[in-house]
Structure 1
């Protein structure tokens, strides 16, 4: 679950400010340029600024005024991402929204959506690498993605430190032209984990293994990727949280949290 953030670090709250000011912007009607309307708009902006400053006292405003967004704002999910739409002014906002307590409500919505979409994943279809008693992550990966290869090295380093993970792997084969063939090679190899490490080390053999089961798995993974709206690699799901890209700090925090939980039970 998303945790309250430090208000002093809320540089990203600019987007939230834009949303909060939507109602103020709606006061500016086309053609209204009378002094009364201008004063009302100025008063509304001042009131909004005071209200926002009460919630986020450490924020320093260089500028503050009506946003271009008008009317009701709707929340939508497209490709697994949260976005906001204001039909009255036809604005799309790729924003992070915080409530008055500093809670990232966009992240909460994202996590709820992720949990719902997780129900469509069949763990039995995954290529599993890692010990059964380790923390589990769902990983969407591409054999030719450089960040996916860096992630594989990271997992190996963490395992050497005594922090292994159990990886439920699904291949994304629609980005690089050779990804499907390399994924099939891994799946058709007698030792899939070893073949995975070799391919991700960048040392693919000239003759790649082929088999019907491997081809079927690659196809099934592609369907899962489309169903979940996965658009980039690596994409991970850890503790129900969607992590886009190789975000080392987030993965370190995930592993440290799991390590503390494990130690507490001993």
Structure 2
């Protein structure tokens, strides 16, 4: 049984970061011991050992559909939250950096032909991928700024994420956009609240996009993924994206 749950202070975290010895990979017996220890307390959760953390005697353990924990080899101590590495010029969030790389890999594997893409008429200078939902007010607000986004040279790639789930009215609406002869125009009409006949084709990619969003950590819309895999939850104005991407000057 887990004896203590420690929430480390920032000072303690930074002290750990300066440790130079990284934990060795666990053998099967050690892995079983660690998982058994933490699973005994929360049998309702599933855990997966990622590997040694970048500090001595700690291991990264993923709670499936939950946070990353930093756990001692015997499974008796852990903390959750961000682990930072001290680098010249600032702190680096270790888990975020790893997750960004994973998201980028997953995103790169998506066929662009399964997306609804709005491409700028000027030279493309950046790309954002947006998990979107027709019934999401902030998704509609972001879409109303499409012309401004395009004017900065930002290409917008849509993936479907009906928040109400597969089979819902939201699913049928967004699938209709993907099944239309003109997906871009249909997406714009639906987000404007226009009446559009529902058309759910059997080969639409909405379920696959929805599953991908879950795997990437999307929990709401709009959720924007940058080219490097950074996940930005929630609405931001077009001008804020331009500034973030270094495109403030048109």
Which structure 2 residues correspond to residues 149-160 of structure 1 after superposition, within 5 A? 149-159=140-150
- The total of aligned residue pairs comes to 195
Q: Is the 8 A contact 2:84 2:92 kept in 1?
A: yes
Please state how far the C-alpha of 1:259 moved relative to its aligned partner.
6.1
Asked if 1:91 corresponds to 2:75, the answer is: no
Bigger drift between 140-149 and 74-83 goes to 74-83
After TM superposition, the score normalised by the length of structure 1 is: 0.59
Give the corresponding residue for 1:207: 197
Gaps in structure 2 of 5+ consecutive residues: 1-7, 18-55
CA distance in 1, matches of 2:136, 2:66: 21
After TM superposition, the score normalised by the length of structure 2 is: 0.62
CA RMSD of aligned residues (A): 3.4
Gaps in structure 1 of 5+ consecutive residues: 1-13, 24-70
CA distance in 1, matches of 2:106, 2:190: 29
Give the corresponding residue for 2:43: none
The 3 A distance-change label for structure 1 pair 154 and 227 is: same
Which structure 2 residues correspond to residues 157-168 of structure 1 after superposition, within 5 A? 157-159=148-150, 162-168=151-157
Which structure 2 residues correspond to residues 171-186 of structure 1 after superposition, within 5 A? 171-175=160-164, 177-186=168-177
The structure with the largest helix share of the pair is 1
Q: Is the 8 A contact 2:131 2:158 kept in 1?
A: yes
Please state how far the C-alpha of 1:182 moved relative to its aligned partner.
0.7
Please state how far the C-alpha of 1:123 moved relative to its aligned partner.
2.0
Runs of 4+ with >6 A deviation:
79-82
Q: Is the 8 A contact 2:135 2:170 kept in 1?
A: yes
Give the corresponding residue for 1:17: 11
Q: Is the 8 A contact 2:129 2:226 kept in 1?
A: yes
Please state how far the C-alpha of 1:179 moved relative to its aligned partner.
1.6
